[in-house]
């Protein structure tokens, strides 16, 4: 990934993971650095995804690594296969809501994405809490 594309993705996302909302600038005490964020192919290259800005997302290392090359996950409410959240095609609020500092999936896509990307792992929830902002 070239530096210009990385910077464009970071600016577009306002330094916030487009999946779990972790924000590097907001949690300096967390130790999160630019290296902890990746430019992620929403549709992976192995599935024909392009390396253009419409297919790139700014993602924390955890979301990127958990997502991997997956396009789908299992909706824990129904057991059905569901597409994962696509930051360029949908708005975050269409699939998720915050309950305190937990991310709750409100659609099959949201629930499958929360589960597969492990968005509510204790250390990630802690990074979203006000105490981590001090």
Q: Mention every residue, 6+ apart, whose C-beta is less than 8 A from residue 123.
A: none
DSSP code at position 38: E
**pLDDT value at residue 36:** 85
pLDDT at 132 over 60: no
Write down the pTM of the prediction: 0.88
Q: Which of 7, 6, 24 is nearest to 15 (CA)?
A: 24
pLDDT at 134 over 50: no
pLDDT tens column, 77-100: 999 999 999 999 999 999 999 999
Question: Domain map of the chain by residue range?
Answer: 3-133
Three-state secondary structure of 42-106: CCCHHHCCCCCHHHEEEEEHHHHHHHCCCCEEECCCCCCEEECCCCCCCCHHHCEEEECCEEEEC
Count of beta carbons in the 10 Å neighbourhood of residue 75: 20
Say what percent of the chain tops pLDDT 90.
74
Q: Which of 59, 60, 61, 41 is nearest to 51 (CA)?
A: 41
């Amino acid at each position: 990934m070239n530096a210009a594309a990385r910077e464009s993705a970071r600016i577009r996302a306002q330094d916030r993971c487009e999946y779990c909302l972790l924000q590097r600038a907001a949690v300096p005490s967390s130790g999160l650095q630019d290296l902890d964020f990746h430019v992620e192919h929403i549709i992976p290259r192995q599935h024909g995804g392009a390396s253009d800005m419409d297919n790139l997302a700014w993602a924390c290392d955890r979301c990127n690594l958990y997502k991997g090359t997956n396009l789908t996950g299992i909706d824990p409410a129904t057991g059905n296969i569901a597409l994962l959240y696509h930051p360029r095609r949908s708005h975050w609020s269409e699939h998720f809501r915050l309950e305190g500092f937990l991310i709750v999936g409100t659609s099959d896509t949201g629930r499958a994405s929360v589960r597969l990307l492990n968005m509510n792992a204790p250390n990630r929830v802690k990074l979203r809490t006000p105490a981590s902002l001090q």
